[in-house]
Structure 1
Amino acid sequence: MATFLLMHGGGMGGWTWKFVREILEAKGHKVFTPTFTGFGERSHLIGRDVGIETHVTDIVNVLHYEDLSDVILVAHSYAGTVAPGVVAQAGDRIKRVIYLDAIIPYKGERIGSLLGFASEDDMIGLDAMLDAGEGPIGSGVHEQQRAMAKEHPHMMSAERQDWLLDHLSDQPMRATCCAIAVGAESITLPVDYIAAKHTIMNAMHDRARSLGWPVHDHPGDHAFNVGDPEGVADMILGIVS
């Protein structure tokens, strides 16, 4: 049986893995679903100094204090920016990495400008403001996702989408605008990429291929870990086996 550590996307939390976790655990696997500082049930800890390096530390500490080894590290969406730093610090505890329609950052990039939400100059300016103890604490990603879902509903039941949207929380602005210290190009462990068909992450799919990672296509949308947990779990287990 395998040990999985599932990392969530922007505006989400460990709760987003509820359905995938149930499936994997029912098959006898060990599953850990930590929440990054400033998200979900830890949203009260959001602050101007909370960024990607904080979230790397969150996961490295879970690996250490839970005495985990041979871990399958799974990164959804935003967590793709966290995975390289985790591998750099605790790669001896990780067996392989699976990206789920996740951001693939190179060293020095910033999420906001990488995804086209703002200019590089704007992101640099925001980063400097936060260093000075000024500027917005959160990025408003939860409201952005809710607005997008109204225009393009997720591929899931209305009831499940309501559950998903109701649970969203803000994302620290620091995580959105800070320069990424460790890029995905540094990962030497085996990495597979599961690409959703209906997503804004198409450029990331191309990056995965350019890095030589095997890419597995899923017919769903970016929230497929909630909309199709059975299919996502099957794909993860297929890769591991």
Structure 2
Amino acid sequence: MATYLLMHGGGMGGWTWKFMREILEAKGHKVFTPTFTGFGERVHLIGRDVGNETHVTDIVNVLHYEDLTDVILVAHSYAGTVAPGVLAQAGDRIRRVIYLDAIIPHAGERIASLLGFASEEEMAGLDAMLDAGEGPIGSGVHEQQRAMAKEHPHMMDRDREQWLLDHLSDQPMRATCCLIPVGAESIKHPVDYIAAKNTIMTAMHDRARALGWPVHDHPGDHAFNVGDPEGVCDIIAKIVG
């Protein structure tokens, strides 16, 4: 049996793995689903200084204090920016990595400009503002996701979608605009990428292929870990073998 550490996406938390965790644990696997500082049940810790480095430390500490080794590290969406830093600091505890429709950053990039939501100049200015103790604490990603769902409902049961939307929380602005110090190009571990068909992450799929990572297609959308946990777990099981 395997040990999984599942890292959630933007606006979410450890709760987002509820359905996948149940499936994996029923098969006898150990599953850890930590929540990044400033998200979910830890949203009360959101602050202008909470960014990528904080979230890397969150996961490195879980690996250390839970005495985890031979871990399969799974990163959804935003967590793709955290995984490289975790591997740089605690790679000896990780067996392999699986990206779930996740962001693939290069060192020195910023999420908002990488995804085309804002210019590099705007994000650099906002980052400096946060350093000075000014500017918005949160990014409003939870409200953005709710607005997007009205125009393009998720590919899942409406009750489950409502559960997803109800649980969303804000994301620290620092995480959105800060420089990502460790990029995916530094990863030496085996990485597989599960790509959703209906997503804004298409450019990330191309980056995965450019890095030589095997890409596994899924017919769902970006929230497929909630909408089709069975299907995603099946793909993961084939990857892990």
TM class, shorter-chain normalised?
over 0.9
Where in structure 2 are the equivalents of 1:112-127 lying within 5 Å?
Answer: 112-127=112-127
The Cα of 1:237 is off from its aligned counterpart by: 1.1
User: What corresponds to 2:110 in structure 1?
Assistant: 110
Structure 1 residue ranges without an equivalent (≥5): none
Q: Give the aligned residue type for 1:169.
A: S
* Rounded Cα–Cα distance in structure 2 between residues aligned with 1:44 and 1:129: 21
Q: Distance in 1 between matches of 2:163 and 2:118?
A: 29
**Equivalent-residue separation in structure 2 for 1:129 and 1:235 (angstroms):** 43
Tell me what 1:133 maps to. Answer: 133
Distance 1:238 1:183 in 2: 27
- After TM superposition, give the deviation of residue 112 of structure 1 in Å: 0.3
Letter in 1 for 2:118: A
CA displacement 1:8-27 (0-9 Å, x = unmatched): 00000000000000000000
Report the counterpart of residue 222 of structure 2 in structure 1.
222
3-state SS of the aligned residue for 1:96? strand
Opposite residue 190 of structure 1, the aligned amino acid is P
- The one-letter code sitting in structure 1 at the alignment partner of 2:104 is I
Provide the residue aligned with 1:42 in structure 2.
42
Distance of 1:104 and 1:19 partners within structure 2: 25
Q: Please, what is the CA RMSD of the aligned residues?
A: 0.2
Tell me how far apart the structure 2 counterparts of residues 117 and 136 of structure 1 sit (CA, whole Å).
16
Tell me, in whole angstroms, the C-alpha distance in 2 between the residues paired with 1:212 and 1:172.
31
Q: Percent identity?
A: 88
Residue 121 of structure 1 aligns to which amino acid in structure 2?
Answer: E
Aligned residue for 1:116, secondary structure, equals coil
Counterparts of 1:128-167 in structure 2 under 5 Å?
A: 128-167=128-167
Q: Which letter maps to 1:208?
A: A
- Quote how far apart the aligned CAs of 1:145 are: 0.1
TM (normalized to structure 1)?
1.00
1:203 aligns with 2:203: yes
Q: Secondary structure at 2:28's aligned position in 1?
A: coil
Aligned length: 241
1:114 & 1:140 partners in 2: Cα distance?
18
Partner residue in 2 for 1:24: 24
In the alignment, the residues of structure 2 paired with residue 30 and residue 58 of structure 1 have an alpha-carbon distance, to the nearest angstrom, of 19
**Matched letter for residue 52 of structure 1:** N
TM-score by length of 2: 1.00
Superposition deviation, residue 157 in structure 1:
0.5
Letter of the 2:26 partner, please give it: A
Which structure 2 residue ranges, 5 or more long, are not aligned? none
1:46: how far off?
0.1
